[in-house]
Structure 1
Amino acid sequence: MKKFSALSKPYAVWMFILVVIPIIFMIVLSFLEFSGLNIRSAKFTLDNFSLLNNATYIKAFLKSMEYSLIATVICLLLGYPIAYIIHSSNVTNKYLILLIIILPMWSNMLLRLKALQLISLPEGFFKETFGIRFDFYGTGFAVILGMVLMYLPFMIFPIYTVLEKIDPSLLEASQDLGANHFKTFLKVTLPLSLKGVTSGVIMVFLPCAMGFTVSQIMTGGKIQLIGNIIERLFKNSLNYSLGSLISLIIIILVIGSLYIISRVDEEGETLL
C-alpha cells in the first residue's frame, strides 16, 4: 500500500496542476469582470450570472441536451445488440471484432467528420460516384448522425465488458428452472448489465453535450450548441468570465455524472 501511495504522488501532482488549478482559476474568473486580457482592471461582479438568462444560451443548452439525448438513445439501441451479439458469438477471437470497431477511433476525429461531411453534401461523394444525392448537411440530423458515429464505441465497450463478466451458471440456472432464452435475458442478463449501460450512457452523453466539433463541421456553424457558445466566448469575444462560468456549470454536471458512475460501479464491474 505504501509503495502504491508513493507511485501515486506524481499522478496527484499532475492532477492538481492540470485539473484543480484550472478549475480554481475558472471559479475566480466567473466572479470577475474585465476587458479582453486586461486582468489587472478586473473587478468583482455577479453580473455574469444574470447573463445566463440570455435566450441564445438557453436555446443552445436545450438543443445540446436534446441532440445529446437522441444520440445517446440511438447509441444504446445500436450498441447493446452489437455488444450482446459479440458476447454471445462463438467466434474464437472476439477481440478481433472489437479491434475492427475501435479501429476508426485511431484516426483523427476531424478526418472522420470531414468524410461524413462530404457524404452529407448534395454534390458530395455519393452524388459524383454513384449518382445518389444526399442533402442533410446543416441539419440537426447531420449533428446527431455525427455524434452517433463518433461515440458509438463508447457505448459498446462498457456493455460488452459487463456482459463478459456475467456468470454463465446464472443463465444455465435460469434455463433449468424453465425460462426460455428471452425470459432469461429479461430477468438475468439485462439487470446484470445495467451497470455497463449506465457507464455507456454517461460516456456518450457527456462528450455529445459538451462538444462543439461535430456541430461546427456538420452544420458550418448554422446550429449552435452550448459547446459552440463556450468556444466563441473564449476565442472570438474574449469574454473569459462568462465562458468560465458556463464551463464551470458544465463541469459540475460532469462531476455529478462521475459521482453517479462511482455509485453504480462500486464493485468495479464496468470499464470505469
Structure 2
Amino acid sequence: MSSDTLAKLPAAPGIPEAAAIPRIVPRRRYGQWAAAVVVLVLLALALTSVARNDAFQWGVVAEYFTTASVLRGLWLTLWLTAAVMVLGFALGTLLAAARLSANPVLRAVSWGYVWLFRSIPILVQLLLWFNIGALYPQILGVRTVDLLSPVAVAVIGLTLHEAAYAAEVVRGGILAVDRGQIEAAQALGLSRRRRWWRIVLPQAMRSIVPPAGNMLIGTLKGTSIVSVIAVNDLLFSAQLIYHRTYQVIPLLMVATLWYTVVTSLLGVGQTFVEKRYARGTEPRR
C-alpha cells in the first residue's frame, strides 16, 4: 500500500487526528530570566569594581604571592591541616567505637568528650592550651613552656577539637549501614574483624566521605586561627609582611587567593573520592 493511500484512510475510531491533538507550549518563565539577567549584571559590576579598584594593589599581590615567607607559611598550613585530620580522625574513630560499645562507661566517657569539646569555642581551647603552663608549670620534670611550642599547642588543640566532630561523622556512617548486612555476615561465619573491614567500613565510607571532605576544607580554613598564638602559618606570614610594609589589603588578598586555590583543589579531590565510594549505588541511565 502506498503512502498516498495511507494518507487517505480515515483515522481509527477513538484516535484523534493529528490536527486535533493540542500542541504543548512550554511555559515562559520571564521572572527567572529577569532574575538571571539582574544577577549577571550585578556580578559583572562587582568583578569590574574589584579589578579596577587601585586599593587592591594587584601588582603588590603578584609580587608577594610566591615569596619565600608566604610559601613557608602555606606549607605549614598544609602540614598542620594534614596532621590534624589524620590524628583527629584516628582519635574520633576510637571515640565512635567507644560510643557504640556495649560498655556503659565507655559510652558515657565518649559522649562527655564530644559534648565538652563541641561546647568550647576553638579559640578558647587554643588559648587554654597555650597558657597550660600556668596550671602545670612542669610536665615529666620538663618546663611546660619548653615542652609545648606554639606549633605543638596548635596540633593538640585542633586535634582534640576535630576529634569530637570526627567521632560523630564516623558514628553516623557506621549507623547508616543496614543492620541486615551485618547479620548476613554473622550468618556466614565471618569474624568480627572481617565484618568490620569487609562489610561495615566500605559501606560506611559512603556516608563518611562527604562530611569528612567538608571537615578537611573547614580545618584548612580553621588553621588560620592559630595565628593568634604566633604560629607562622599562611595568615601569620602575611601579617608579618604587612606589619612591616603597611600594605594590609594586598597581603590579605595574597592569603585569600592561596586559601581559595587550595580549597578548590581539595573540593575537586573530594568529588572524585565521593564518586569512587558511590560506585554501584547510582542508578543506571
Q: Same fold (TM over 0.5)?
A: yes
Q: Indicate the residue corresponding to 1:270 in structure 2.
A: none
Worse overlay, 173-182 or 80-89: 80-89
1:169 and 2:180 equivalent? yes
Deviations 1:130-180 (A, max 9, x none): 987423343432221121122222211211111111111111111211210
**Residue equivalent to 1:10:** none
Aligned-residue Cα RMSD (Å) equals 4.0
Percent identity over the alignment is 13
Residue-by-residue CA offset, 1:250-270 (whole Å, 9 max, x unaligned): 124334444555662898xxx
d(CA) in 2 for partners of 1:130, 1:245: 42
Higher mean C-alpha deviation, range 207-216 or range 180-189: 207-216
Aligned-residue offset at 1:62: 0.8
After TM superposition, the structure 1 = structure 2 runs for residues 205-220 of structure 1, keeping only pairs within 5 Å, are 205-210=216-221, 211-217=223-229
Change (3 A) 1:128 1:260: closer
Instruction: Give the 3-state SS of the residue equivalent to 2:76 in structure 1.
Output: helix
| One-letter identity of the residue aligned with 2:200 | T
AA paired with 1:153?
A: A
* 1:60 aligns to 2:69 (yes or no): no
SS at structure 2 position matched to 1:212? helix
1:198 aligns with 2:206: no
Shift of 1:201: 4.0
Aligned to 2:64: 51
Q: Who is 2:234 aligned against?
A: 226
Are residue 253 (structure 1) and residue 262 (structure 2) matched? yes
Deviates more, 1:136-145 or 1:158-167: 136-145
Deviates more, 1:233-242 or 1:159-168: 233-242
In 1, Cα distance between the equivalents of 2:271 and 2:108? Answer: 27
8 Å CA contact 2:92–2:164 kept in 1: the answer is yes
Alpha-carbon distance, 1:203 to partner: 4.0
Q: Which amino acid aligns with 1:125?
A: L
**Equivalent position amino acid for 1:226 in 2:** L
98, 107, 111: which one aligns with 2:120: 107
Which of the two has higher C-alpha Rg? 2
Question: Cα 1:89–1:147, aligned 2, differ >3 Å: closer, same or farther?
Answer: same
**Conservation of the 8 A alpha-carbon contact between 2:70 and 2:238:** no
- Would the alpha carbon gap of residues 165 and 140 (structure 1) be closer, same or farther in structure 2, given more than 3 Å must change? same
Structure 1 stretch displaced more, 144-153 or 205-214 = 205-214
Question: Does the Cα contact within 8 Å between 2:239 and 2:251 map onto a contact in 1?
Answer: no
Task: Give the Å deviation of 1:127.
Answer: 2.8
The equivalent residue for 1:6 is: none
Select the residue among 245, 252, 273 that pairs with 1:243. 252
Three-state SS of the structure 1 residue aligned to 2:189 is coil
Output the TM-score relative to the length of structure 2: 0.65
| Residue 80 (1) aligns with residue 93 (2) | yes
> Which residue is 1:142 aligned to?
153
Residues 52/33 of structure 1: CA separation in 2 closer, same or farther (3 Å cut): farther
Q: Which residue of 1 aligns with 2:197?
A: 186
Aligned pair in 2 of structure 1 residues 203, 151: CA closer, same or farther (>3 Å)? farther
Unaligned 5+ segments in structure 2 are: 1-38, 279-285
- CA distance 1:152–1:234, shift in 2 (3 Å): farther
